[in-house]
A = this chain, B = another copy of it.
Amino acid sequence: MPSTRYVLPEGEIPTHWYNVAADLDSPPPPPLNPGTGAPIGPDELAPIFPMALIGQEVSTERWVPIPDEVRDAYRLWRPTPLHRAHRLEADLGTSCRIFYKYEGVSPAGSHKPNTAVPQAFYNREEGVTRIATETGAGQWGSSLALSCQLFGLECKVYMVRASFDAKPYRKTMIATWGGECVASPSPDTNAGRAILEQMPDTPGSLGIAISEAVEDAATRDDTKYSLGSVLNHVLLHQTVIGQEAKAQLAAADAEPDVVVGCVGGGSNFAGIAFPFVADIAAGRSIRLVAAEPAACPTLTRGHYGYDFGDTAKLAPLLPMHTLGHGFVPAGIHSGGLRYHGMAPLVSHMVHTGLVEARAYHQRECFAEGVRFARSEGIIPAPEPTHALRAVREEVERAAQEGVDRTILVNLCGHGNFDMSAYEDYLAGTMVDYELPEAELEVAAAELAELPTIGA
């Protein structure tokens, strides 16, 4: 049997992050101040982000150096392996070549520490001693807690109450890494107290948790805020994934025809796909495919316009595909994909045709997750089962066209903390959610009052 697993020595951890902005024909539209409607300047972001990250947010330099201390922390688990999925190929009966990059080997079990580590580093460099953030299912909160611990910072995580109650193990992970995790809404902020007074039994939401974390950071001198996806600098940090994959594919004497990732806020997809934009710009023919849940179909059915990143309308207006800041996605198991908006860079690239988007229902995705577990061993997190569903579609399409393709997919995390979702699937009790057209009309009405892109 030919080689199945490509590893790299730690000396080959990338030395720079790749900034896709340098290779786009047109830049994405700027974020706007929700009060004035004017493009937001760095000074307006300074109360909640360190200047180094604000600089990366607006940078158009192709290569951004990775600090040595960040690379040293990456060495705890990077480079991650690239696998040739021989057994999956056999199970699918395809002669396409499928490679998967596996980010689940990080201590937190996903790609999230790739940006949590540099965010903690840059905050410490600027004298910050404490970071506040929100988390939904807990992947991001635990990754930031780990990273704060590595750089000697305190970490406060506002975790959506429904998840806090349903997934107590993530709270324990955060505590094991020295972080503090509270259920949101919490009595620790004005925003939290106000909501608790009105709705003492609310399950919370990501929008509420963001409001709490931003207030925490804005009202304490020692504290900044941190976000785990969506923003340019977050996507930038994730490009170590695709850069390593390129080096590993070269060792396999392969070049991808299709690159696939799942999308919620956009960061793991950006991590695997953006580094190939440089090749596309150089004339190579590579399709980039983003897979999202049909229950939260931001890219495939959402509106492309300016919208708030949070429910409470505290965040800047971002140019993105959106289902409306008031949209509450159905309770699918892929908590990491339940976001009403999308990274502006990913949205811009879908808008300009550089990225294709697909939406899938969760049952067809879990079917591919189980297939993957039974062929390749690893049990995927629910989120990347969407990417695996897209791989299957690519394989079937290649068969119809009578061609063999090379497919690269990002397996962004393992499912060790998601076994209840597999139980739901295997028991036959899992439900698919079809988004009613009426909900999109609500979003359209919300967005009609906000600035439009290119206006």
- What residues make up the interface of A, taking CB atoms closer than 8 Å to B? 1, 3-5, 7-11, 68, 72, 75-77, 83, 87, 105-107, 109, 146, 149-150, 168-169, 172-173, 175-178, 370, 373-374, 376-379, 416-417, 419-420, 422-423, 426
Contact = CB atoms under 8 A, between A and B. Distances in A.
B76 A176 contact: no
Given A172-B420, A172-B426, A419-B172, A177 B7 contact: no
Number of this chain's copies in the complex: 2
Contacts of A370: 176
Contact of A9 (B7, B173, B176, B373): B7
A39 to B, nearest CB: 39
A11 B5 CA distance: 10
List the 4 closest pairs (A to B, CB-CB), nearest first: A107-B377, A169-B419, A416-B416, A172-B419
8 contacts: A5-B10, A106-B377, A107-B376, A150-B377, A175-B422, A176-B374, A177-B373, A416-B417
Nearest to A370: B176
A106 B149 CA distance: 26
Contact of A426 (B9, B11, B176): B176
Contacts of A75: 1, 3-5
A175 B107 contact: no
A379 B149 contact: no
A171 to B, nearest CB: 8
Given A1-B72, A416-B417, A379 B426 contact: no
A348 B83 CA distance: 41
A395 to B, nearest CB: 20
A77 B376 CA distance: 10
